[in-house]
Amino acid sequence: MQILDNQNDLARYLGQLRDKKITVVSAFAAGTEALVQSLRDNGNRLDIVVGTINSFTSPDFIEFCIAEGGADLTLHVDFRYQKSIHWKLYLVEPDIVILGSANFTEIGVSLTRDNAVVIQDAALYQEQLARVAQLKATEGVLLASDSEAFDEELETYRFHHRRMQAGLARTAQYLDGESWLGEDSNQSIPLFIWYSDHSEDSESAAESHLRASSGVDWDDVREFFTYECAEGALPYEEGDVVLTARCNGSHIAFFTFDRILYRDGTYFIYSYRKKRYTAPFNLDDTKEGLRDEIPRWYEEGRTEMNRADILRFMI
């Protein structure tokens, strides 16, 4: 038996393997796309199963595996949410079983907060492989593919994941971007990029709609935004904490979308004045990088900022 730790971590152990079949079963997966590709480059074949508890598994990871999938990469997703797997199991043919608390996430495989033991036992390997096969045959566990059933489940999952991430942005606050990245359940933050200042007519309409709807005094409004789309298509909800910016990369700030009203093809979004404004983290160490990226994100129609974006700004 071998004990892995943050000096000899799981990512490093797996990275030494060549021409093996590697089975990964993990409650969560996120940020390990580069590791997957590296393992494939070393001639390994990967069979991955991920869960959806709390909607933590990254849709980006799922989509990567779909796009890059083939004979050397297969993915199953356990779409049973709170009833889905909580395993952290790694199997390496013909006889290696790795058990511990490490999810298949960037932080998990680094073992900075988790543990793992390597057991060489052919009988145990076959036993665990049989359990994985039984799991993949369970109702609600689907092979990632272009099938209509999988696409529908993934679309629903994207929604739940986005709402979970928006909830974390509302409730969890960190000192800076680096601290935010230190928790791998933090994967994205809602993003709203606007084009131009409001006209007098737009501001008058916003004030009128708000008074008629809730009686809130206009002096209590810190800022308001407008978003044109079909009713029900707005990618934000009341209470969301959203990173907002002008399309040229200026006016970068977090705002809470306290009130949202829909009128004649336009959503009016209001942020109220408060004694203390909620923010997932301080923007001082990321603003410079954001200024350069926001114009491109505006052209792409981006409505969220993810871990990879923030990590890039920290380098």
Residue-wise pLDDT tens digits, 101-114 = 999 999 999 999 99
Task: Assign 138 a pLDDT band (cuts: 50, 70, 90).
Answer: very high
Task: Assign 284 a pLDDT band (cuts: 50, 70, 90).
Answer: confident
Co-location of 29 and 148 in the same domain: yes
Instruction: Write down the pTM of the prediction.
Output: 0.89
pLDDT, tens digit, for every residue of 32-62? Answer: 999 999 999 999 999 999 999 999 999 999 9
Co-location of 37 and 142 in the same domain: yes
User: Is position 167 within any domain?
Assistant: no
pLDDT exceeds cutoff 60 at 134: yes
pLDDT exceeds cutoff 70 at 315: no
User: Is position 138 within any domain?
Assistant: yes
Question: Which residue, chain included where needed, has tokens 């092979």?
Answer: 143
Question: Which residue, chain included where needed, has tokens 């779909």?
Answer: 66
Contact call for residues 285 and 178 (beta carbons, < 8 A): yes
What was the pLDDT predicted at 314? Answer: 66
Distance CA 135, CA 129 (A): 10
What was the pLDDT predicted at 286? Answer: 86
Co-location of 153 and 177 in the same domain: no
Q: Name the domain count of the chain.
A: 2
Q: DSSP alpha helices (H): ranges in the chain?
A: 10-15, 33-41, 59-68, 106-110, 122-136, 148-171, 177-181, 200-214, 287-300, 307-314
Co-location of 198 and 281 in the same domain: yes
What was the pLDDT predicted at 177? Answer: 86
Co-location of 241 and 129 in the same domain: no
> Which residue segment(s) compose the domain that 9 sits in?
2-160
Co-location of 126 and 215 in the same domain: no
pLDDT, mean over the chain: 94
User: Is position 39 within any domain?
Assistant: yes
Find, among 22, 159, 144, the residue nearest to 78 by Cα: 144
Co-location of 185 and 297 in the same domain: yes
pLDDT, tens digit, for every residue of 177-236? Answer: 889 988 989 999 999 999 988 889 899 999 999 998 887 889 999 999 999 999 999 999
User: Is position 75 within any domain?
Assistant: yes
Instruction: Tell me the C-alpha to C-alpha distance, in Å, between residue 270 and each of 141, 180, 221.
Output: 41, 26, 7
Mean pLDDT across the stretch 290-310? 92
Phi, psi of 220 (to 5 degrees): -85, 0
Co-location of 105 and 198 in the same domain: no
Task: List, in sequence order, every residue forming a beta bridge with 268; answer none if it has no partner.
Answer: 226, 261
Distance CA 168, CA 281 (A): 12
